[in-house]
Amino acid sequence: MRPSTGSKVLWSELLPHEFRNRMKYNPTVYLPLGLCEPHGQVSAFGLDTIKAEWLCEQAALRVGGIVAPSMGYHIHETGYHARWLEEEIGDNNPHMTGIPPAVMLQLFLYQLRAFVNAGFRTIIVISGHSGGNQVDIRRAADLFMRHIPVHVWVRSDPELVEGLYEGDHAGKYELSQQMYLRPDLVDMRARSYENEPDSGGRLALGLDADEASPELGKLIMEACLDRLCVEADRMKRMYANEEIPPINYGLIQIIWSELLRTADEWVTAQPWPSQEEVSPQSRWKPYERYSPNGTGAEYRF
What's the CA gap between 63 and 29, in Å, rounded?
A: 11
Return the bridge partners of 43, or none: 186
**Residue 300: per-residue pLDDT:** 40
On the question of pLDDT at 14 being above 90, the answer is yes
Beta-bridge mates of residue 7: 5
Domain hosting 75: range is 11-284
* Residue in 59, 51, 75 with CA at minimum distance from that of residue 122: 59
Residue 77: what pLDDT? 96
End-to-end CA distance of the chain: 63
62 lies in a domain? Answer: yes
Phi, psi values for residue 127, rounded to 5°: -110, 125
Residue 290 lies inside a defined structural domain of this protein: no
Residue 6 lies in a domain: no
CA distance 232 to 113: 20
Instruction: Please give the pLDDT value at position 301.
Output: 32
Q: What is the rounded distance in angstroms from the CA atom of residue 301 to the CA atom of residue 173?
A: 38
| pLDDT reading at 117 higher than 80 | yes
Asked whether residue 297 is domain-assigned, the answer is no
Residue 275, classified by CB atoms within 10 Å of its CB into exposed (0-12), middle (13-18) or buried (19+), is middle
pLDDT at 241: 72
Provide the pLDDT for residue 186: 98
Contacts of 167 (CB under 8 A, 6+ apart): 130, 156, 157, 158, 161, 173, 174
Q: Say if 295 falls within a structural domain.
A: no
Judge whether 296 lies within some domain: no
What is the CATH classification number for the domain harbouring 122?
A: 3.40.50.10310
Closest CA to 203 of 99, 289, 75, 84: 84
Q: Is residue 301 part of a domain?
A: no
Count structural domains, the chain: 1
Coil/strand/helix, residue 69: coil
Output the DSSP codes for 178-225: HHHH-GGGB-GGGGGGGGSTTS-TTTT--TTGGG--HHHHHHHHHHHH
Confidence category of residue 297, pLDDT binned at 50, 70, 90? very low
Angle, CA of 122, 221 and 176, to the nearest 5°: 140
Q: Do 36 and 74 form a contact (C-beta atoms < 8 A)?
A: no
Count of other CB atoms within 10 angstroms of residue 157:
29
| 144-199 pLDDT per residue, tens | 999 999 999 999 999 999 999 999 999 999 999 999 999 999 999 999 999 999 89
Q: Is beta strand 122-127 parallel, antiparallel or unpaired with respect to 98-99?
A: unpaired
206-250 per-position pLDDT tens digit: 999 999 999 999 999 999 999 999 999 999 888 667 789 999 999
Instruction: Report yes or no on 294 lying in a domain.
Output: no
Confidence of residue 4 (pLDDT cuts 50, 70, 90): very low
The model's pTM is 0.94
Looking at the chain, the whole-number percentage of residues with pLDDT higher than 90 is: 92
> What are the CA-CA distances from residue 30 to residues 37, 120, 171, 197, 273 (Å)?
22, 10, 27, 42, 33
Asked whether the predicted pLDDT for residue 258 surpasses 90, the reply is: yes
Distances (CA, A) of 215 to 16, 176, 177, 178, 220: 39, 8, 9, 11, 9
